[in-house]
């Protein structure tokens, strides 16, 4: 297979001013996509705003011969999400790809997190993904084509201090599985990327975990954000046949992250005592099968 090109395609990348999103935007542009660089320029906790991160990425894309426009609208606001999609339509007349990458971060023990902390994560990560996708959806349906790349995280599996973040990322995973079902008939494919990267969030998490500075620096250096962009580009490409899947990226490896169902224990009537007696059988992953989008589960 030759190079995966995006000539003639238009991609929106949220959270594209720094880190992983910036890497996505730069790679897509280098492959011929016209890119909307969406970023409010906030701190990792969601505070503050700046036009500079998005503008800097646009300038970098243009300096390399690509086409891009910036928007500083917020994904967490319905009007802001609509404005992001409108930026693509106004500048380039179409929208083919949405990469939902924008996010905030607040590592802390569950007991110390407030309800508002959880709401903030849901508003930006989950509802931000919902709102931008929903704004783009009718245009993709009309075109009979679309690629949605949502950002989930291995924290959905359980990571210390990330209950609010991981829960919001879990909602994105579930949303993506259902978008994959709803969009299939209209030529829309939706998948997830679960990235690792040495970003501001990784530094904050390491600090919250009291990691030694030398270990943290080595970890960050080993995970450049750019290593995630090829997986995002693949999922965004017209040749991608995946739908409702998760690609997990770590240094030197891309793998499938999936939900499985074990063979379990079968009996006509099952009591709590039966479950206790057959727990090893229920939990045994031997011969487990992957739960497919749309079933069978």
Active-site positions read 165
Q: Which residues pair with 260 in a beta bridge?
A: 290
Backbone angles phi, psi at 230, to 5 degrees: -60, -40
How many angstroms separate the CA atoms of 254 and 191, rounded? 14
How many angstroms separate the CA atoms of 102 and 73, rounded? 11
Q: Among 188, 183, 186, which residue's Cα sits nearest to residue 294?
A: 183
Q: Residue with structure tokens 């487990």?
A: 288
Element (H, E) at 146: strand 146-151
| Positive/negative CA dihedral, 120, 125, 126, 129 | positive
Element (H, E) at 253: strand 253-257
- Asked if 66 contacts 30 with a C-beta cutoff of 8 angstroms, the reply is yes
SS in 3 state form for 192-208?
Answer: EEECCCCCHHHHHHHHH
DSSP letter, residue 93? S
Sheet holding 253-257, edge to edge: 68-71, 34-38, 10-14, 97-100, 146-151, 188-194, 246-250, 253-257
């Amino acid at each position: 297979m030759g190079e995966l090109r995006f000539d003639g395609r238009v991609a929106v990348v949220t959270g594209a001013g720094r880190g992983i999103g910036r890497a996505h935007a730069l790679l897509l542009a280098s492959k011929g996509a016209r890119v909307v660089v969406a970023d409010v320029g906030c701190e990792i906790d969601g505070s503050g705003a700046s036009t500079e991160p998005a503008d800097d990425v646009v300038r970098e894309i243009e300096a390399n011969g690509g086409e891009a426009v910036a928007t500083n609208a917020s994904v967490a606001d319905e009007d802001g999400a609509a404005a992001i999609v409108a930026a693509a339509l106004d500048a380039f007349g179409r929208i083919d790809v949405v990469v939902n990458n924008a996010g905030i971060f607040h590592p802390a023990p569950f007991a110390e997190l407030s309800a508002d902390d959880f709401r903030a994560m849901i508003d930006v990560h989950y509802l931000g993904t919902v709102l931008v996708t929903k704004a783009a959806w009718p245009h993709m349906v009309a075109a009979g084509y679309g690629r949605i790349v949502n950002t989930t995280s291995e924290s959905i599996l359980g990571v210390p201090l990330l209950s609010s973040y991981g829960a919001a990322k879990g909602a994105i995973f579930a949303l993506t599985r259902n978008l994959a079902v709803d969009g299939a008939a209209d030529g829309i494919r939706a998948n997830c990327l679960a990235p690792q990267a040495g970003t501001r969030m990784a530094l904050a998490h390491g600090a919250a975990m009291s990691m030694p500075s030398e270990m943290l620096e080595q970890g960050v250096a080993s995970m450049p954000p750019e290593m995630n962009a090829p997986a995002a580009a693949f999922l965004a490409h017209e040749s991608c046949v995946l739908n409702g899947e998760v690609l997990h990226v770590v240094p030197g490896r891309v793998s499938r992250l999936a939900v499985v169902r074990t063979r379990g224990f079968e009996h006509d009537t099952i009591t709590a005592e039966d479950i206790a007696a057959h727990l090893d059988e229920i939990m045994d992953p031997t011969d487990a099968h992957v739960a497919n989008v749309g079933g069978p589960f």
